[in-house]
């Protein structure tokens, strides 16, 4: 229980920063307090649901591995190549 509570900010804060960068970068101040609260609440609820549904840490690591490995192996090299081609 303690490890889940201690690790929650490590999941929520980068996710919230990403949401802010994607959807609220046009606003000068970023998210308002109400938007920040709603975003944090939604992310905490999503994390809680996932933590409740995944039975063991091994299954969680399998889920992370099967979703991140294709991104790192196939999608990111193409994205970097396209970015390199644009600069030339």
Q: Among 12, 58, 59, which Cα is nearest to 36's? A: 12
pLDDT (tens place) for every residue of the chain, 88 residues total: 676 667 777 778 888 888 888 888 888 788 889 998 999 899 888 888 887 888 888 888 888 888 888 888 888 899 889 888 887 7
Contact assessment for residue 58 and residue 22, using Cβ atoms and an 8 Å cutoff: no
% of the chain residues with pLDDT over 90: 7
The total of other beta-carbon atoms located within 10 Å of residue 81's CB is: 10
Contact assessment for residue 15 and residue 46, using Cβ atoms and an 8 Å cutoff: no
Measure the CA–CA gap between 22 and 41, rounded to whole angstroms.
18
Check residue 37 and give its pLDDT. Answer: 92
Contact assessment for residue 8 and residue 40, using Cβ atoms and an 8 Å cutoff: no
Assessment of whether the complete model's pTM goes beyond 0.85:
no
């Amino acid at each position: 229980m303690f490890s889940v509570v201690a690790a929650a900010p490590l999941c929520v804060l980068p996710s919230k920063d990403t949401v802010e960068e994607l959807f609220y970068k046009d606003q000068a101040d970023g998210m308002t307090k109400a938007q920040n609260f709603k975003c944090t609440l939604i992310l905490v609820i999503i994390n809680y649901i996932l933590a409740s549904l995944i039975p063991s840490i091994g299954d969680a690591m399998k889920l992370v591995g099967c979703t991140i490995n294709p991104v790192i192996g196939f999608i990111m090299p193409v994205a970097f190549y396209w970015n390199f081609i644009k600069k030339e």
